[in-house]
Amino acid sequence: LAKTTQPISMDSYEGQEVNITCSHNNIATNDYITWYQQFPSQGPRFIIQGYKTKVTNEVASLFIPADRKSSTLSLPRVSLSDTAVYYCLVDPGNTPLVFGKGTRLSVIA
């Protein structure tokens, strides 16, 4: 069973910042938080990973509070091409990935 809870869907207009929050109340000490993006008829693609505080790369930012029971994926200035399903996963890195249903983001022009 997935160890995370995230909204089923979100809508956003182009150019806006999108924040997707994921709850993982039972996260273990050695778990990392990883986000994947999936377009229709394609495999998931790694976006970002973090353990605590804030991580930023060229695609997104990941905010993790001190208690690590939740995390927020932030996508700056989304475009139509960001329309996809976003998955939040937590695991220690030595077990197969367990996916939930993800969040379906629809970007509107």
Partner 1 sequence: DAGVTQSPTHLIKTRGQQVTLRCSPKSGHDTVSWYQQALGQGPQFIFQYYEEEERQRGNFPDRFSGHQFPNYSSELNVNALLLGDSALYLCASNEDRKDNYGYTFGSGTRLTVV
Under rule CB under 8 A, residue 97 binds partner 1: yes
Report d(CA 96, CA 9) in Å as an integer. 25
Under rule CB under 8 A, residue 23 binds partner 1: no
Find the shortest distance in angstroms from Cβ 93 to partner 1: 5
Instruction: Map tokens 């008829």 to a residue.
Output: 41
Do residues 62 and 35 lie in contact, with contact meaning Cβ atoms separated by under 8 Å? yes
Segment interacting with partner 1, rule: CB under 8 A, options 10-18, 21-29, 65-73, 96-104: 96-104
Report d(CA 68, CA 61) in Å as an integer. 15
Using the 8-state DSSP alphabet, how is residue 41 labeled? T
Segment interacting with partner 1, rule: CB under 8 A, options 19-27, 61-69, 74-82, 93-101: 93-101
Residues that bind partner 1 (CB under 8 A): 2, 32, 34, 41-46, 49, 85, 87, 89, 91, 93-102
